Amino acid sequence: MINELLFMNGYGIYVFSAFIFTLLSFASLYLVTKTQFVKEQNKFVAKFGSLNTDKAKSAKTQRINKEILANASNN
């Protein structure tokens, strides 16, 4: 049963390599995108931390900024 599934009458190597290539591409795309996202988020948090009180207060009035900071602290 297992041999039959893996060998697939000689087509197993083609079928599995196509599926493995697809799943690896998915994983790579996800990891690259996630890394870029985390990098930008960390850059934002670092920049926000270096702002003085007035500028930080003014930046915090924007909802998107607050959400980025909240998401960064959740990660």
Partner 1 sequence: MKNQFVNPGFLVNHIRPLTPWCGGIAILLVMIGLWFSFYNSPIDYQQGNAVRIMYVHVPAAWISLGIFSSITLLSISGFVFKNKNLFLISKSLAPSGFVFNIIALVTGAIWGKPTWGTWWAWDARITSMLILALFYAMYLISWRIYRSEEKVFKITTFITILGIVNIPIIKYSVDWWNTLHQPASINILSKSSIHSSMLFPLLIMTAAFALFSLLIFLMKYNTEMIKIKNKGLDRL
What are the residues binding partner 1 (CB under 8 A)? 5, 8-12, 14-15, 17-19, 21-22, 25-26, 29-30, 32-34, 36-37, 40-41, 43-44, 47-48, 51, 55, 58-59, 62-65, 67-68
Based on DSSP, count helices (H) and strands (E) in the chain, helices before strands: 4, 0
Helices 63-74 and 12-49, interaxial angle, to 10°?
120
CB of 39 to partner 1, least distance (A): 8
Least distance CB 71 / partner 1 (angstroms): 8
How many residues would you count in the chain? 75
